[in-house]
Structure 1
Amino acid sequence: MAKLPMNLRDDNVSEETKNLISSLPTDEDSQGKLCKYQGCWYYYNTLQAVINFQTNFQPQDTDIVLASFPKSGTTWLKALSIAILERAKHHSNDPLTHPLLSDNPHGIVPFFEIDMYLQTATPDLTKFSTSTPRLFSTHMPLHTMKEGLKDKDSPCKVVYLCRNIKDALISRWYFRCKYQNKEAAGSILESMFESFCSGVSFYGPFWDHAHSYWSGSLENPKQVLFMRFEALKSEPYVQVKRLAEFLGYPFTKEEEESGLINKIVELCSLRNLSGLEVNKTGKTWMNVDYDSYFRKGEVGDWKNYLTSEMENKIDMIIEEKLKGSGLRL
């Protein structure tokens, strides 16, 4: 029997966290047991990592956190952010030393709760001490992640990439089946669809997740940037420029005229990244193949898989849940 990924096992959960779980709403999906903490559903080990992060992370004012709901373009956002911050070192001298050519974006920018604090309550952050700003990522909703920043007025910058939930669902379906070595069967998609609609899914409900960052971006636009996957696809030049300005590393007139933005867009394209040797053969520390993170990256691919009834059901739920928020998904 294949060994479960660490985030699905219960072997790293403290007695204190087990006591907490006993007081929380619980449920389960096709992968394992879930509990609802601060409005979000987690597997037990992931909850332990969230608590580890909230308790032990020591933020720096210059930290940048890249956030998303799973399978919403996270790999792409990481790659673009890396390229923006690294361009002074790599675009003009030796491009072959660029970190994206030797490591996957997830290897360069770790997740708080499904990487660093899942392995240990006190991860070694010294490898980040020489880089300013430090780049991290998360799938936690904003209010939960901000508890780890220790200060509600922390100057850390947060970038959230939002994607049409129907496309995110299809991407997540393929991703789950691939790392479980299963055929992408319709029965699995139907089960995941029902979980998404009920809100009882890993990191769900989606509408609450997106709304946490949407409202955060309205309350503090200098700290929280809300981006859309679809806009990044349709106008990459404009959106990459916007991202760089928010991060505090705007492109100079000379860089724009030299075509540097387009070079970054090409470097971070799915076609280019998926073709790199490291992304064909490498694996994460949890033994997930790097090539699992590269599929189609298209807008509207859900139309090839969801029925009109499924489409209408999701649309009606999203409209109802976000009514009056100003957020349209």
Structure 2
Amino acid sequence: MLVNDHFNPRPTDIIVATSPKCGTTWLRALVFSIYNRSSFDFSDHPLSKNNPQELVPFLDGCIQVDGSTSFIDGFPSPRLLSTHLPYSLFPQRMTDDASGCRFVYICRDPKDVLISKWHFANKLRPKDLPPITLDEAFDSFCEGVSHYGPYWDHVLVYWKASLESPKKVLFLKYEDVKKEPGDCVRKVAEFLGVPFSPEEQNDKIVEDIVKLCSFENMSEQDVNKNETRNSKRPISNADFFRKGEVGDWVNHLSPQMAETLDQITEQKLQGTGFSFR
């Protein structure tokens, strides 16, 4: 509601969009480093001193209850912002093709999303409460009780928008990015209107960005080992890094759980032309 009532988009805005635990931190780092690659030296990069959330601020949390957008109004263009909001909740002045602002979206296998969300929720759980069991997390996820709405609905609204407006919404799969990160980096650069030059390709800038933003490199930065939490900042930098693997769900879900989730996914995606595979 606050975004609808108070946020003034600019034609140059770039929105990194995800459902929680789908690669938000990684995508923020990739988009920031791709767009700003000529501004910083890779040996002394802002990502070595800042968590990606500080470089690509969270739009949903930037607008204060009084409607103030002063924190982001002062940002120079182009503004790189992040969101977990479904595409359908954004005002038309942002989703119209004529508005200019662009969305880069990433999704992930629902089974891995569930496991990542479960671990994340228990990290933040008050110590005086018992941990959330996997059965509880599984039942809620299957019923669509999830941050920012049922996971499948969140994915499909961005998928459909990417088909209808491919110049406005770029749709990525986490598994594809893990498999071919260089191809993803090139695709994002093209989409944002800053393609890599032949000279940059020869200088292996794409490979430098892939390495800089890799889970292994990012999780080893001192700034991302910080576990400080407080009332104003209940999530620490370290909380955003666990494994970053594809298929970790096999270590947690029973075959029956996995089959149930696959059946729900098949039902939800039927007739859409989309598949997580």
Q: What is the TM-score normalised by the length of structure 2?
A: 0.92
Q: CA deviation at 1:293?
A: 0.4
The one-character-per-residue Cα deviations of 1:205-262 (angstroms, maximum 9, x if unpaired) are 1111100000000001000000000000000111111011101111111111111111
Say whether 1:62 aligns with 2:62. Answer: no
Code of the aligned partner of 1:242:
K
Q: How many residues align?
A: 273
The one-character-per-residue Cα deviations of 1:253-291 (angstroms, maximum 9, x if unpaired) are 111111111111111111111111111126575231101
Q: CA deviation at 1:119?
A: 5.8
After the TM superposition, which residues 1-329 of structure 1 pair with which residues of structure 2 at under 5 Å, given as runs?
51-91=1-41, 95-96=43-44, 98-113=45-60, 115-117=61-63, 120-125=66-71, 128-130=74-76, 132-147=77-92, 149=94, 151=96, 153-180=98-125, 188-281=133-226, 285-329=232-276
Code of the aligned partner of 1:116:
C
CA distance in 2, matches of 1:306, 1:147: 40
CA distance in 2, matches of 1:290, 1:236: 23
Code of the aligned partner of 2:268:
K
The one-character-per-residue Cα deviations of 1:139-177 (angstroms, maximum 9, x if unpaired) are 111111244627564211101101011111111111111
- Relative to 1, partners in 2 of residues 1:203 and 1:218: Cα closer, same or farther, differing over 3 Å? same
3-state SS in 1 of match to 2:70:
coil
Asked if structure 1 preserves the Cα contact closer than 8 Å seen for 2:227 and 2:239, the reply is: no
3-state SS in 1 of match to 2:36:
helix
Q: What is the TM-score normalised by the length of structure 1?
A: 0.78
- Relative to 1, partners in 2 of residues 1:247 and 1:128: Cα closer, same or farther, differing over 3 Å? farther
CA distance in 1, matches of 2:195, 2:87: 25
Across the aligned residues of Structure 1 and Structure 2, the Cα RMSD in angstroms comes to 2.1
3-state SS in 2 of match to 1:149:
helix
Asked if structure 1 preserves the Cα contact closer than 8 Å seen for 2:141 and 2:150, the reply is: yes
- Relative to 1, partners in 2 of residues 1:234 and 1:103: Cα closer, same or farther, differing over 3 Å? same
CA distance in 1, matches of 2:83, 2:248: 25
Q: CA deviation at 1:122?
A: 0.9
Asked if structure 2 preserves the Cα contact closer than 8 Å seen for 1:128 and 1:134, the reply is: no
Q: CA deviation at 1:204?
A: 2.2
Code of the aligned partner of 1:314:
L
CA distance in 2, matches of 1:67, 1:243: 13
CA distance in 2, matches of 1:108, 1:273: 14
Regions of 4+ moved over 4 Å: 282-285
Asked if structure 2 preserves the Cα contact closer than 8 Å seen for 1:57 and 1:148, the reply is: no
Greater relative CO (CA pairs within 8 A, separation 6+): 2
CA distance in 2, matches of 1:237, 1:318: 29
Unaligned residue ranges in structure 1 (runs of 5+): 1-50
The one-character-per-residue Cα deviations of 1:65-115 (angstroms, maximum 9, x if unpaired) are 0111100000000000110111111137xx42x2212211111212222x2
Unaligned residue ranges in structure 2 (runs of 5+): none
